[in-house]
Chains A and B, each alone.
Chain A
Amino acid sequence: MISYHPDSRYLTDFATANLPLAEAVCVSAHLEFCGKCRAHVQQLTDVGGHMLARLQPEAVSEDSFAALMARVSAGAQEQFPVTVAAQVPQEDVEEAAQSHVFLPRAVRRLVSGSLDKLRWVQLGKALRVAPLQVSDESRETAIYDIRAGGRMPEHEHRGEEITVLLQGSFSDADGSYSCGDFVVRHAGEAHQPTATMDKDCICLVCLERPVRPRGLFYRLLEPLVNYRLQRMNRSVA
């Protein structure tokens, strides 16, 4: 049962495609778990359709239709073809479909089909983190895997943090969260999530990039992740 949903700001900015991509990935992931928010996004999109149809029309040039049909006749695909998706081999996508963790489409693309192939960084006994590259916006995106019963170090957020639970559940002083939940923590809120005993907890996490690291958690996480990333990049190059 999903109890935590994106608020009207996230849903509206998503429906109008005005969210930073990393946050849009989180909303998109939640929508695959939540029929109610998906219905809201459909309603919001209807508002967009309604407003579009009532705009003051802007004349297109006279030869526009002919030019378009010439492209159609020449068998034109869109000028902006699907490119990134094509890089994920089909077998990876099928493999992901068979794996026991349900991954929403946007996440499936970002992890190239499977969580196993990610570069995991172990942070203590209970937590491993795999950074994801969404875009170079001011957000850090990662998959967190908290071992069943494991406890994360207490940490404070320097910026807004979105967590979407992909598997398992965790709890902190404020409540307990289960698969599909969309949990937002604001800057300055501290918490110490603990995964429930029965299952590893896998989360998609999007962090507003902190201006400068402060506090135990970032001292632990930030330099390490950045260091590993740099090393990976070097070894690729």
Chain B
Amino acid sequence: MSSSEDSNIGSLRKALAGAGPQGAPDPWEAAIRKVAQHQDRAEFKKLFDHYAPMIKSFLCKGISSYADRSLAEEMTQEVMLKVWNKADSFNPTKASVNTWIFTIARNTRIDFIRRNGRAGRTIDIEDIWHEADSPEPVVELQQRRVETMIRNAMATLPEEQALVLEKAFMENKSHNDIAEELALPLGTVKSRIRLALSKLQILIDR
């Protein structure tokens, strides 16, 4: 067990070391910092102009069954309000701005679905999807340097692999949902996603 684990992590490090320089610093980090420290509305406007249309696009995909533009619009505002309110909790060593905003949009979406679906619940979304203050440190997989590599590798994915990733990450679909929609066995969906992830150097044991 542990030896295969070590070699996975080792090969990941090697692959990442070869992925080249980290590239230019993320300009949006500074914008978030200014919002957090000075409630800088001009910077927030730039963030809004850049991210709100992407967030809306994401939300339109994710909730296609209720798709109505005003709803997506309202939820987009909700996500951006959280960006404003939580700016001081953004930690650039833990996540890129894109990733951080994705998690806020994802949580807002699931929160909305849960509130409007039949499923009642007794727990907050943020109690499940949280940045754990865990006694167990995150194993350093150098995931923050993955950005350039993700971009390059994503461009080379075969269409069938890119498709399942798109459905899982952007269209709010579980493995089971994808299997049903594409009329594929669950195992095929799982292996396509695993193959795609391994090309992105995300090497999960099973």
Q: Which residues of A contact B43 (CB under 8 A)?
A: none
Q: Scoring A residues 77 to 112 as 1 if CB is less than 8 Å from chain B, else 0, what string do you get? A: 111101111000000000000000010111001100
| A-B contacts, CB under 8 A, total | 249
A50 at the interface (CB under 8 A from B): yes
CB-defined contacts of B200 to chain A, threshold 8 Å: 43, 47
Q: Is B90 an interface residue (CB 8 A)?
A: no
Pick from A32-40, A148-156, A212-220, A227-235 the stretch touching chain B: A32-40
Whether B98 contacts A38 by the Cβ 8 Å rule is no
Are the CB atoms of B128 and A106 closer together than 8 Å?
Answer: yes
- Residues of B near A46 (CB, < 8 A) are 95-96, 98-99, 143-144, 146-147, 150
> A34 to B94, alpha carbons, bound, how many Å?
17
CB proximity to B under 8 Å, residues A31-82: 31-36, 38-40, 42-53, 55-61, 64-65, 67-69, 71-72, 76-80, 82
Does A50 lie within 8 Å of B98, measured CB to CB? Answer: yes
Stretch of A16-24, A120-128, A195-203 at the chain-chain interface: A16-24
In the complex, chain B residues whose CB is within 8 Å of the CB of A226 = none
**Alpha-carbon distance A135/B98, docked complex (angstroms):** 31
Check: B180 CB closer than 8 A to any chain A CB.
no
Binding site for B on A (CB under 8 A): 1, 3, 5, 7-9, 11-13, 16-19, 21, 24-25, 28, 31-36, 38-40, 42-53, 55-61, 64-65, 67-69, 71-72, 76-80, 82-85, 102, 104-106, 109-110, 133-137, 180
